[in-house]
């Protein structure tokens, strides 16, 4: 029995009814940081944070009455002063005639499990707000798509392709644990379904990270630009091309991302008389999400869309770094 106690990974401690430590195994040394000869003979309160002394007094009282305490989770203090969550099991120790003379305590470190629990709660909160955000986005896509389509067939097609685009952007973000996504990959993923096997898209620009909300906004805007190009613009003609180019301009706090979408080789373009969901998403949602400016030019040679967005000082991230914390207070909460 002594060998089992000595080699146990759990801290196994015995104490008198006055709370004096009587024995201390290797597990206890590892958990609390005290060697046996430093703590045996000392008060058990050495291990109890000051604000929990009443709790320990209560435990000793219950043991004195012969009670057995199972898996009691509480905070204890290591030799270095740091606190940790432990699970305690406390049993009365009796002498030969059955009188309670002390208590044995088995303490198990719960820090990891507590951390995992906390992590799970954070993730659930995170998931909840992402799902709600997505629902809101889908709701607005549905309302706009149904409101603008002239036939049910057209609505079905537009709605479906918008959702597929959104889900691809989610895949990309999930691969990056919802930290950020690379603009290059967002562009490539979004235009791929419209590329039609040929090299209709020319994509030029450095790697730049976007926050999750910025990534979704850019993906949705590029999707609208692509479908518009295929419906009305350069991609309606065989020789039509689209150049998508971006660069970072300026220094320090004044750094900006400059992105341009330029169509050529399509039919002559005129300023439209009506604007739909595409224009709304491109000109308003994108601009507000990136806190930047978006301009759409209906040049006769092809549609041109330019976007300028600030890159906040000290950040290598577009759309704010607050999403990084992994906490619930992140910028993606916005619409």
Ligand X SMILES: Nc1ncnc2c1ncn2[C@@H]1O[C@H](COP(=O)(O)OP(=O)(O)O)[C@@H](O)[C@H]1O
Task: Determine, following the binding rule CB under 6 A, whether residue 283 of this chain makes contact with ligand X.
Answer: no
CB of 173 to ligand X, least distance (A): 24
Tell me which of 278, 292, 319, 320 binds ligand X, using CB under 6 A: 278
Beta carbons within 10 angstroms of residue 179's beta carbon: 14
Q: Sort 221 into a burial class: Cβ within 10 Å, 0-12 / 13-18 / 19+.
A: buried
Q: Does 269 bind ligand X (CB under 6 A)?
A: yes
Output phi, psi for 7, to 5 deg.
-95, 0
Q: In the bound complex, what is the minimum distance in angstroms from residue 87's beta carbon to Mg ion?
A: 59
User: How far is the C-alpha of 140 from the C-alpha of 134, rounded, in Å?
Assistant: 10
Q: Is 56 exposed, middle or buried (0-12, 13-18, 19+ CB in 10 A)?
A: buried
Task: Identify the residue among 49, 193, 265, 276 touching ligand X (CB under 6 A).
Answer: 276
Q: Coil, helix or strand for 95?
A: coil
Smallest distance, Mg ion to C-beta of residue 280, A: 9
Instruction: Find the part of the chain contacting ligand X (CB under 6 A) among 23-31, 72-80, 104-112, 277-285.
Output: 277-285
- Please choose which of Mg ion, ligand X, none residue 16 contacts, taking the beta carbon within 5 to 8 angstroms, the exact cut-off set by kind: none
Q: Which of residues 224-243 bind ligand X (CB under 6 A)?
A: 224, 228-229, 231-233
Helix axes 183-191, 212-231, angle to 10 degrees: 30
* Minimum CB distance to ligand X, residue 132 (Å): 26
**In angstroms, rounded to a whole number, what is the distance separating the alpha carbons of residues 186 and 183?**
5
Q: Is 228 in the site for Mg ion (CB under 5 A)?
A: yes
Distances (CA, A) of 132 to 160, 164, 166: 20, 18, 14
Q: What is the DSSP letter of 313?
A: T
Q: How far is the CB of 138 from Mg ion (least distance, A)?
A: 17
Q: State which of residues 233, 240, 266, 278 lies at the interface with Mg ion (CB under 5 A).
A: 278
Residues 6+ apart with CB under 8 A from 236: 229, 230, 266, 267
Comparing CB distances to Mg ion, the nearer of 180 and 228 is 228
Instruction: Output 172 or 296, the one with its CB closest to ligand X.
Output: 296
Question: According to the binding rule CB under 6 A, does residue 148 interact with ligand X?
Answer: yes
Binds 275: which of Mg ion, ligand X, none (CB < 5-8 Å by kind)? ligand X
Distance, CA of 45 to CA of 206 (rounded, Å)? 60
- Give the Cα separation of 111 and 92 in Å (integer): 26
The residue range among 130-138, 179-187, 267-275, 324-332 that interacts with ligand X, by the rule CB under 6 A, is 267-275
Residues that bind ligand X (CB under 6 A): 148, 224, 228-229, 231-233, 263, 269, 272, 274-279, 303
Question: Which parts of this chain interact with Mg ion (CB under 5 A)?
Answer: 228, 278
């Amino acid at each position: 029995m002594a060998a089992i106690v000595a080699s146990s990974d759990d801290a196994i401690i015995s104490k008198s009814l006055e709370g004096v430590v009587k024995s201390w195994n290797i597990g206890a040394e590892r958990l609390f940081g005290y060697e046996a000869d430093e703590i045996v003979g000392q008060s058990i309160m050495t291990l109890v944070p000051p604000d929990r002394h009443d709790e320990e007094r209560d435990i000793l009282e219950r043991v004195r009455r012969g009670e057995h305490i199972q898996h009691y989770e509480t905070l204890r203090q290591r030799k270095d002063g740091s606190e940790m969550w432990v699970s305690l099991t406390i049993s009365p120790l009796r002498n030969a005639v059955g009188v309670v003379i002390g208590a044995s305590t088995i303490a198990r470190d719960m820090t990891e499990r507590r951390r995992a629990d906390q992590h799970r709660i954070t993730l659930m909160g995170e998931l909840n707000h992402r799902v709600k955000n997505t629902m809101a986005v889908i709701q607005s896509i549905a309302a706009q798509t149904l409101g603008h389509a002239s036939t049910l067939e057209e609505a079905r097609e537009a709605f479906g392709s918008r959702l597929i685009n959104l889900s691809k952007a989610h895949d990309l973000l999930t691969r990056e644990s919802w930290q950020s996504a690379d603009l290059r990959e967002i562009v490539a993923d979004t235009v791929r379904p419209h590329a039609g096997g040929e090299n209709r898209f020319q994509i030029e620009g450095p790697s730049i990270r976007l926050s999750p909300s910025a990534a979704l906004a850019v993906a949705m805007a590029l999707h609208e630009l692509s479908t518009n190009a295929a419906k009305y613009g350069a991609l309606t003609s065989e020789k039509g091309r689209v150049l998508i180019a971006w660069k970072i301009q300026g220094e320090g706090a004044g750094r900006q991302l400059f992105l341009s979408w330029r169509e050529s080789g399509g039919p002559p373009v005129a300023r439209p008389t009506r604007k739909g969901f595409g224009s709304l998403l491109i000109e308003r949602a994108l601009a507000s999400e990136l806190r930047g400016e978006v301009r759409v030019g209906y040049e006769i040679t092809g549609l041109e869309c330019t976007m300028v967005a600030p890159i906040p000082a000290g950040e290598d991230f577009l759309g704010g770094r607050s999403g990084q914390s992994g906490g619930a207070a992140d910028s993606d909460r916005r619409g």
